[in-house]
C-alpha cells in the first residue's frame, strides 16, 4: 500500500514550494521531477523538531521514544505522547496524532494517512504500555487523518469521531472510488489550461497534482468509518482513562467535523487541523469557516500560557504557535481587504497574496487548498459576489457526485 502511494506521488508529484512562486515558467514535467510529494507540508517540521520555547519544558521529552523518519513519537506529558509526521520521509502517517495512556485505558488519536501509519502508532504505544486501548479518534474526516481507519477496524478498536465524519468520508472519498479518474480531473485540467496568468497556471497545476495524489491514495485504500459518532451538541465529553481525564470538544473552522482532545490537568491539547504549526491555514473545505476558525484560535489563545499544543501538522508548539497562526490569518486579511476595497474580484485576488519576508519560512501546503480559499471565503464573508471562479468549489466538487 505504501508502495502504491509512493508510486502515485512519484508519478504525479504535487509538492508545492514557495520558492517556485517567482521562478520562471516551468513545464509540468520538470515541476513533477524536482519536487517531492507533500514535501512543503513538512519543510518546517524537518527543520525544527522541537521549538526553543519547549526545549526546557519538563513535560516534553527532548528525544523521541521512536523515530522512523516518516514520524516520530515523543512524550508531551504524564502518560501523553505526540506522534509528529514528516512526509518528506514517507507517507505512512501524513498527519500528527498521539496517544493518552491512563491506568485503565488508552485513547489513540488519528487514523492517519494509511493503516501502516496507525499500526506504527500502535507499535509505539506498546513500547511504553500494555494497557488496553479503549478507543481511537479521528479529529476530522480528511484523508490524511482517516485513510488508516481500517487498522482500527481490523483490531476491533472502537473509533470515535464527530457525528458527520463517517458521512463526509463516504461523500468525499467513497465517491472518488467510484469515479472515472479522467472525468473527475478534467475540470481541474481545464482550469489549468484556462489560466490567464503564469502565476494562476502554477497554482491550478499544483492543485491538479495534489487532487490527483489524493485520488490515488483514496483509491488504494479500503475505507473504514468511525462507529462511535460524537454529537457535538453533547460536548464537552469527559473520557476517564484511569488517573487521566481527556476532555473531548468540538470547534468550528477547518472542516465542519473538527474535534479536539484536551487534558486540562496538564495543559496539553491535541488540536487536529484547527492548528497548524509553521504552515499557512488550509481552508479549502466547503465547511471551513474563516471567522469561525479565527474565533476558535482566540479561544486557544485564551488558554494557559504554558499550554502544549499538538497541532494537526508541523512540530509541537506552545502559545507562540497559536499566535503565529493567528497572525497569518491577519496578514491574509490585510492584503485581501485592500484588494476587496480596490474592487479586485475574488477569483483574481485569490492568486495575488504575497508572502511577506517575515513569513518566508512558513510553508504553504498547496495554494488552492490554502491561501486561495482563505481569501475567497473572506470575500464571501464580506458580502462580495463570488463570481464564476469560486476557488473553493474547484477542489472536490467535480468528483463528489
Q: How far is the CB of 340 from Zn ion (least distance, A)?
A: 26
Q: How far is the CB of 108 from Zn ion (least distance, A)?
A: 18
Rounded CA gap, 311 and 100, in Å? Answer: 15
HEC letters along 337-350:
HHHHHCCCCHHHHC
Applying CB under 5 A, which part among 136-144, 235-243, 293-301, 326-334 lies near Zn ion?
A: 136-144
* Contact string 316-355 vs Zn ion (x = CB under 5 A): ----------------------------------------
Rounded CA gap, 14 and 26, in Å? Answer: 14
User: How far does the chain reach from its first CA to its final CA, in angstroms?
Assistant: 26
Q: Which of residues 32-51 bind Zn ion (CB under 5 A)?
A: none
Q: Which residue lies nearer to Zn ion by CB, 205 or 273?
A: 273
Applying CB under 5 A, which part among 20-28, 114-122, 208-216, 271-279 lies near Zn ion?
A: 271-279
Q: Which residue lies nearer to Zn ion by CB, 201 or 254?
A: 254
Q: How far is the CB of 310 from Zn ion (least distance, A)?
A: 14
Q: Which residue lies nearer to Zn ion by CB, 273 or 351?
A: 273
Q: How far is the CB of 322 from Zn ion (least distance, A)?
A: 17
Rounded (5°) CA angle 377-215-162: 60
Q: Exposure string (b/e) for 176-203, b if CB count within 10 Å is 16 or more?
A: beebeeeebbeebeebbeebeeeebbbb
Applying CB under 5 A, which part among 60-68, 124-132, 272-280, 289-297 lies near Zn ion?
A: 272-280
Which residues fall within 8 angstroms of residue 156, CB to CB, at 6 or more apart? none
What is the total count of residues that contact Zn ion (CB under 5 A)? 2
Q: How far is the CB of 333 from Zn ion (least distance, A)?
A: 21
Are β-strands 106-109 and 97-101 bridged in parallel, bridged antiparallel, or unpaired? Answer: antiparallel
For 158-225, the DSSP string reads: -EEEETTHHHHHIIIIIHHHHS-HHHHHHHHHHHHHT-SSHHHHHHHHHHHHHHHHHHHHHHTS----
Residue 273 within binding range of Zn ion, rule CB under 5 A: yes
Q: Which residue lies nearer to Zn ion by CB, 54 or 322?
A: 322
Backbone angles phi, psi at 184, to 5 degrees: -65, -40
Q: Which residue lies nearer to Zn ion by CB, 76 or 259?
A: 259
Short-list 261, 323, 248, 259, CA closest to 76: 261
Residue 258 within binding range of Zn ion, rule CB under 5 A: no
The interaxial angle of helices 371-381 and 290-302, nearest 10 deg, is 100
Applying CB under 5 A, which part among 137-145, 146-154, 322-330, 343-351 lies near Zn ion?
A: 137-145
For 33-72, the DSSP string reads: HHS-TTGGGGHHHHH-SS-HHHHT-TTS-SS-SEE-SSEE
Q: Which residue lies nearer to Zn ion by CB, 263 or 283?
A: 283
In sequence order, the β-bridge partners of residue 392 are: none
Residue 138 within binding range of Zn ion, rule CB under 5 A: no
Q: How far is the CB of 168 from Zn ion (least distance, A)?
A: 11
Rounded CA gap, 329 and 253, in Å? Answer: 12
Q: How far is the CB of 147 from Zn ion (least distance, A)?
A: 12
Cα 156 to Cα 103, 134, 259, 363, distances in angstroms: 21, 10, 22, 37
Q: Which residue lies nearer to Zn ion by CB, 81 or 365?
A: 365
Applying CB under 5 A, which part among 33-41, 68-76, 212-220, 269-277 lies near Zn ion?
A: 269-277
Q: Which residue lies nearer to Zn ion by CB, 15 or 111?
A: 111
Q: Which of residues 140-179 bind Zn ion (CB under 5 A)?
A: 142
Q: Which residue lies nearer to Zn ion by CB, 153 or 259?
A: 259
CA 108 to chain centre: 17
Q: How far is the CB of 26 from Zn ion (least distance, A)?
A: 28
Q: Which residue lies nearer to Zn ion by CB, 74 or 142?
A: 142
Q: List residues near Zn ion by CB under 5 A.
A: 142, 273
Amino acid at each position: 500500500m505504501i508502495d502504491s502511494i509512493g508510486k502515485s506521488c512519484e508519478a504525479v508529484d504535487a509538492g508545492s514550494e514557495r520558492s517556485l512562486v517567482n521562478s520562471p515558467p516551468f513545464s509540468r514535467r520538470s515541476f513533477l521531477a524536482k519536487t517531492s510529494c507533500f514535501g512543503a507540508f513538512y519543510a518546517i517540521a524537518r527543520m525544527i523538531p522541537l521549538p526553543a520555547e519547549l526545549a526546557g519544558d519538563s513535560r516534553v521529552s527532548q528525544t523521541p521514544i521512536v523515530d522512523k523518519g516518516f514520524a516520530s513519537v515523543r512524550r508531551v506529558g504524564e502518560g501523553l505522547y505526540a506522534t509528529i509526521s514528516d512526509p518528506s520521509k514517507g507517507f505512512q502517517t501524513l498527519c500528527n496524532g498521539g496517544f493518552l495512556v491512563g491506568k485503565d485505558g488508552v485513547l489513540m488519536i488519528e487514523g492517519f494517512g494509511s493503516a501502516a501509519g496507525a499500526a506504527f502508532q500502535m507499535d509505539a504505544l506498546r513500547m511504553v504500555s500494555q494497557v488496553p486501548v479503549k478507543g481511537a479518534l479521528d479529529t476530522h474526516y480528511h484523508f490524511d487523518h482517516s485513510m488508516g481507519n481500517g487498522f482500527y477496524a481490523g483490531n476491533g478498536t472502537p473509533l470515535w469521531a464527530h457525528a458527520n465524519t463517517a458521512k463526509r468520508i463516504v461523500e468525499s472519498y467513497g465517491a472518488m472510488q467510484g469515479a472515472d479518474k479522467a472525468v473527475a480531473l478534467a475540470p481541474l485540467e481545464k482550469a489549468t489550461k484556462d489560466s490567464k496568468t503564469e502565476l494562476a497556471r502554477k497554482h491550478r497545476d499544483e492543485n491538479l497534482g495534489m487532487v490527483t495524489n489524493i485520488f490515488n491514495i483514496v483509491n488504494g485504500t479500503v475505507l473504514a468509518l468511525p462507529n462511535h459518532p460524537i454529537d457535538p451538541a453533547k460536548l464537552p465529553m469527559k473520557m476517564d482513562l484511569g488517573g487521566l481525564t481527556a476532555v473531548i470538544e468540538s470547534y468550528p473552522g477547518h472542516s465542519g467535523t473538527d474535534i479536539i482532545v484536551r487534558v486540562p490537568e496538564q495543559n496539553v491539547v491535541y488540536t487536529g487541523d484547527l492548528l497548524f504549526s509553521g504552515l499557512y491555514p488550509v481552508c479549502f473545505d466547503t465547511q471551513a469557516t474563516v471567522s469561525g476558525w479565527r474565533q476558535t484560535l482566540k479561544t486557544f489563545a485564551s488558554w494557559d500560557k504554558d499550554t502544549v499544543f499538538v497541532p494537526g501538522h508541523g512540530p509541537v508548539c506552545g502559545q507562540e504557535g497559536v499566535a503565529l497562526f493567528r497572525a497569518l490569518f491577519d496578514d491574509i486579511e490585510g492584503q485581501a481587504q485592500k484588494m476587496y476595497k480596490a474592487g479586485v474580484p475574488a477569483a483574481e485576488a485569490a492568486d495575488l497574496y504575497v508572502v511577506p519576508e517575515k513569513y518566508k519560512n512558513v510553508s504553504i501546503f498547496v495554494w488552492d487548498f490554502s491561501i486561495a480559499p482563505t481569501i475567497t471565503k473572506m470575500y464571501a464573508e464580506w458580502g462580495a459576489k463570488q463570481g464564476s471562479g469560486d476557488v473553493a468549489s474547484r477542489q472536490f466538487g467535480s468528483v463528489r457526485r
